[in-house]
Amino acid sequence: TKMNCRWTLRAAKGRWMVNISQQCSHGSIGLFVPPSPPLDPEKIRELQRFITLSKRLLVMTGAGISTESGIPDYRSEKVGLYARTDRKPIQHGDFLRSAPVRQRYWARNFVGWPRFSSLQPNPAHWALSNWERLGKLYWLVTQNVDALHTKAGSQRLTELHGCMHRVLCLNCGEQIPRGVLQERFEALNPTWSAEAHGLAPDGDVFLTEEQVRSFRVPSCRCGGPLKPDVVFFGDTVNPDKVDFVHRRVKEADSLLVVGSSLQVYSGYRFILTAREKKLPIAILNIGPTRSDDLACLKLDSRCGELLPLIDPC
């Protein structure tokens, strides 16, 4: 279901509307999930065999698992939702150096937050959480920053690129929940009652220069700038976290990739480790991946359609 939508923003000097001419989605997943062939019963049986034989299964997930929750995948890849200044991905160095870049980033993030934070796990997230509960899943690594695995109850989890639901101070390192920051934004910008009625097809948020310049961004108690706890372009994953995941991969006996094309090296390197260890690798992703030739099993199905069909016992 597509429809036109608009954001209503109330500014200090009266009220104006921002019309978003692009088409938007209202809870429809069709817009974000690529088309896939119908489920092949033989493929389902092969994945079932793979899972049944696994005793220490490591699962790595990417943007493809969250499209069925309404998140366009090309946005969460690498940098996370709303991690852009207008059309360009935000650069870690620019964010650190420039107060105007941070102001623009947070204004957009503020507008997008109500929808983003309300997104819910889909059957694929619930299936993996269930596998953990039943002792099937040894460890879960995600490249996503949407917290949907946590919302589904997964605990044996590493968020490789961090999480949008946490904010940290670049000066003293203090962490606060993103929801708390939203309240501070609202208090500092009382006339900025922004309501997102949907998401543009590319998930973008449009704001004028004037709007951005009027947006007030709070600092940490120490005066330091705040940043979401996610890895932007030009930044690297914490080496301790990388080592930790390498150890989990080496302890595992099989690897299942769910919804990732493995184009990003931060995830791909664990495939290389699994390959070195000669672990069997299965890949569930609509479309080709960087590691199709390393996989003993490749499935082009919707994650939320296929995973709940697998018996983890």
Residues forming the site for Zn ion (CB under 5 A):
169, 171-172, 174, 220, 222, 224
Q: Residue 89 or 224: which CB sits closer to Zn ion?
A: 224
Q: Alpha helices, DSSP H only, in the chain?
A: 41-53, 73-76, 92-97, 99-118, 123-133, 148-151, 178-188, 209-214, 239-251, 265-276, 303-306
Residues 47 and 39: beta-carbon distance below 8 Å: no
Provide the terminal-to-terminal Cα distance of the chain, rounded to the nearest Å.
Answer: 38
Distance CA 259, CA 73 (A): 9
Our CB check for Zn ion shows the closer of 105 and 131 to be: 105
Q: Could you tell me if 151 and 120 are in contact, meaning their C-beta atoms sit under 8 angstroms apart?
A: yes
Total Cβ atoms within 10 A of residue 208: 12
Catalytic residue among 161, 165, 197, 246: 161
- Bind-site residues for NAD(+): 62-82, 143-146, 259-261, 285-287, 303
Q: Which helix (H) or strand (E) holds 10?
A: strand 2-10
Q: Find the radius of gyration of the CA atoms of the chain.
A: 20
Indicate the annotated binding residues for Zn(2+): 169, 172, 220, 222
Supply the minimum distance, in Å, between the C-beta of residue 173 and Zn ion. Answer: 7
Give catalytic status of residue 149 as yes or no. no
Tell me whether residue 17 or residue 172 sits nearer to Zn ion (CB atom): 172
Q: How far is the CB of 14 from Zn ion (least distance, A)?
A: 36
Which amino acid, one-letter code, is at 204? Answer: D
Shortest Å, Cβ 218 to Zn ion = 11
In the complex, what is the shortest distance from the CB of residue 301 to Zn ion, in angstroms, rounded to a whole number? 45
Are the C-beta atoms of 163 and 229 separated by less than 8 Å? yes
36 vs 171 by CB, closer to Zn ion: 171
Q: Which residues are catalytic?
A: 161
